[in-house]
Amino acid sequence: MLAGLFHKQYEGLTLSRSLRLWTALCVIILPAILLAIVIVQPWVNPKWMFFDALTAAEFSDDCCHIYYGFISNLGIFLWISTAAIALFSALIFFLNPRLKPFFGFALSSGLLSAWLGLDDAFLLHEVAFPELGVPQLFVLFIYVALAGVYGLISLRVIMSAEFWILVLAAIGVGTSLGLDTLLHSIEDNIVIMEDSAKFFGIFSWFTFHAVTLARIFLTKYSDPAARLNSSG
């Protein structure tokens, strides 16, 4: 059964040792530098840069400033960037018979990323759904279920690629959700910890899908034999 999980179709998605090292450094260092700059800058309370803009405007006594929601908005950009990359890839995979094994991975990751980006942008699970009478915990349970569906559909690709990046994404987003659910606080340190973990998770999610889809194109789509098979 396990042998069938790793078909030769999925070979070549992992990085070389040197590229894996550079990727690990980027995944860890780039968001860490950005978050550190936001936290230590001396001009404004970083909490307002971590909050989404609407929440910052609601709780701040000095509404409004262009830096409100800075980190939150960057996270939304990463969700939507992932969705755009994945959905465009899904279209190409669908049109190329040789690459159809990767279609489910690209489509499910694109749709899930797009929805989570919309959720972040319009506060769906925090405000919109609860105001419609749908409990926040129920919405989060649905999101976990959707993530599970994505995982089942994409399992072969995930396990053949740099899955450790996806693990980092799950840890980051999971930590953020846990802090939000258990503490639900607007204290400065709690907000910074919660949204730092969330941004780190989103950045890792984006990196995993960008790297994996790039590897698929480089190792499968650019293969002359694959092009010959697909055209025949």
Other beta carbons within 10 Å of 92: 16
Q: What long-range pairs does 95-103 form, CB within 8 A, spacing at least 24?
A: 96/221, 96/230, 97/229, 97/230, 98/220, 98/226, 98/227, 98/229, 98/230, 99/216, 99/220, 99/221, 99/226, 99/230, 101/7, 101/9, 101/10, 101/156, 102/157, 102/216, 102/220
217 and 161 in contact (C-beta within 8 Å)?
no
pLDDT at position 231, please?
Answer: 43
Specify the higher pLDDT residue, 214 or 227.
Answer: 214
Q: Which of 40, 17, 76, 51 is nearest to 203 (CA)?
A: 76
Burial class, 21, CB count within 10 angstroms (exposed 0-12 / middle 13-18 / buried 19+) = exposed
Residue 170's contacts (CB-CB under 8 Å, 6 or more residues apart) are 201
49-98 residue pLDDT tens: 999 888 888 888 887 899 999 999 999 999 999 999 999 999 999 999 88
Residue 100's contacts (CB-CB under 8 Å, 6 or more residues apart) are 93, 94
pLDDT at position 222, please?
Answer: 61
Burial class, 130, CB count within 10 angstroms (exposed 0-12 / middle 13-18 / buried 19+) = middle
78 and 203 in contact (C-beta within 8 Å)?
yes
- pLDDT range class, residue 185, cuts 50, 70, 90: confident
Q: Which of 70, 49, 71 is nearest to 60 (CA)?
A: 49
Specify the higher pLDDT residue, 92 or 222.
Answer: 92
139-174 residue pLDDT tens: 999 999 999 999 999 999 999 999 999 999 999 999
Mean pLDDT of 180-207: 92
Residue 135's contacts (CB-CB under 8 Å, 6 or more residues apart) are none
Q: Which of 125, 119, 201, 130 is nearest to 167 (CA)?
A: 201
92 and 137 in contact (C-beta within 8 Å)?
no
103-121 residue pLDDT tens: 999 999 999 999 999 999 9
